[in-house]
Amino acid sequence: MGRPAKRTYSNILINQLNNIGDVLLATSGVALLKKAYPEAKITMMVVPRVAELLQNHPLVDEVITFEYKSKQTSRREMLDIIKLVRSKKFDLNISFDYRLRPLLIAWLSGIPERVSGDYLYQSHPVWHRVLFTHRIPLRGQFTHCQQGEMFRQVVQELTGIKETLKPVMPNPHQDSEALVASLVGAEKENKIVLYCVRGTHEGKNWPAEHFAVVMKSLQERTPSLRQYVIGAPGDFPYAENVIGQSGVAVGNLCGKTRLADLPVLFERASLFITVDTGAMHIAATTPVPILALFLNTNCIQWGPDSEQATVLVRTSILEQFNISAADCPNCVFVQEISCQDVIEQVNKVLVE
């Protein structure tokens, strides 16, 4: 059940039905795959809300969207996507998410080779892993390894290429520069601090009133500083609440940028302060300094893959995930993440 005998693939389907951060980290594996098989057509199957991340992407030729949740997917839709995938005549399927439904689609569509990393995202075996033709052993526990590295391991073992490549964002839109300039100004020398104040679930969130205190403190310290909150359209009201509590002028950009615009925006910024989000992983593909706040998620598995990142982490995470502080050299561990902790880290980056 290890890697297949070395051969050339020409038409590859990759499953990754998770959130933005997971899909972006998976592109580091896609980059290796493209290097191994430069002539191959690569298709990614993702949930509809993430498809934008792969539009105009240098590594991905086609995107198939599929909503895997049972309440949102009828039997008819399942049969339709099986028919669609079968018509594509893929010769290799790589599962970067280990879910049953996309694996069933690959199996029922007749894709001859179906590969994943054994125990990818899993601490215990699941019955449907028997549907893989090849399960590649992964080095180390998934909780003790950055998730992008786990995706790379699958492709490294499949192809024999041992390089480490970074995640890859889509090409910017033709109007990305103009859009960003309209939102934050055209001049790049002014100091800009960006925030992402809301994660995909409440357990990731730092209290709104704490962000408000930091915003007010930074504005009082540096009156010329410009501060903005970024996020999805649905985050706009939450961001408005944070900004309102701060009592200072902070721009709310939630819903005003596309994913491909964010690298351009990050290149204008002096600092990005964020909870554990997909935007954090997008920022990690740029030179912007990152201050990431980890309250309840694994800082080793999901921390930003950037030398410009500092991660503030609650010490309870060490016991929760049975990890060691020594395994996360860019992390600063504190009992609880206070406003003062954040301000101290910000002061190390924003030098007068």
Partner residues linked to 275 by β-bridges: 293
Q: Which single residue is written with the structure tokens 């709104």?
A: 208
Give 69-91 pLDDT, tens digit per residue: 755 567 788 899 999 999 999 99
Across 28-32, 101-105, 245-249, least confident range:
101-105
pLDDT at 3: 61
Distance CA 245, CA 234 (A): 19
User: What pLDDT is attached to residue 19?
Assistant: 92
Q: What is the structure's pLDDT at 329?
A: 84
Quote the pLDDT of residue 352: 47
**pLDDT class of 292 with cuts at 50, 70, 90:** very high
Task: Please enumerate in sequence order all residues whose Cβ is within 8 A of that of 206, keeping only pairs 6 or more positions apart, or say none.
Answer: 197, 275, 293, 295, 337
Res. 119: pLDDT tops 90? no
Phi, psi of 124 (to 5 degrees): -130, 150
Count Cβ atoms within 10 A of the Cβ of residue 257 and give its class: 0-12 exposed, 13-18 middle, 19 or more buried: buried
Q: In what helix (H) or strand (E) does residue 97 lie, and over which residues does it extend?
A: none
| Cα 117 to the center of its chain, rounded Å | 19
In this predicted structure, which of 58-62, 74-78, 311-315 has the lowest mean pLDDT? 74-78
- Rounded Cα gap, residues 171 and 142, in angstroms: 30
Cα diameter, the chain: 63
Check if CATH label 3.40.50.2000 holds for domain 176-349.
yes
Per CATH, the number for 11-159 is: 3.40.50.2000
Could you tell me the two tokens for 307?
């030398």
Mean predicted lDDT score pLDDT of the chain: 92
The predicted-structure confidence for 33-52, as pLDDT tens digits, reads as follows: 999 999 999 999 999 999 99
Same-fold call for 11-159 versus 176-349 = yes
Is residue 215 predicted with pLDDT exceeding 90?
yes
The H or E element spanning position 327 is none
Which residue, among 203, 15, 180, has the nearest Cα to 98 in the 3D structure? 15
Three-point CA angle 149, 54, 157, nearest 5°: 30
Q: Give the domain ranges of the chain.
A: 11-159, 176-349
Could you give the CA distance from residue 174 to residue 231 in angstroms, rounded to a whole number?
Answer: 21
Decide which of 349 and 210 is more confident.
210
How is the beta sheet containing 271-275 ordered, strand by strand?
251-252, 226-229, 192-196, 271-275, 290-294, 309-314, 331-334
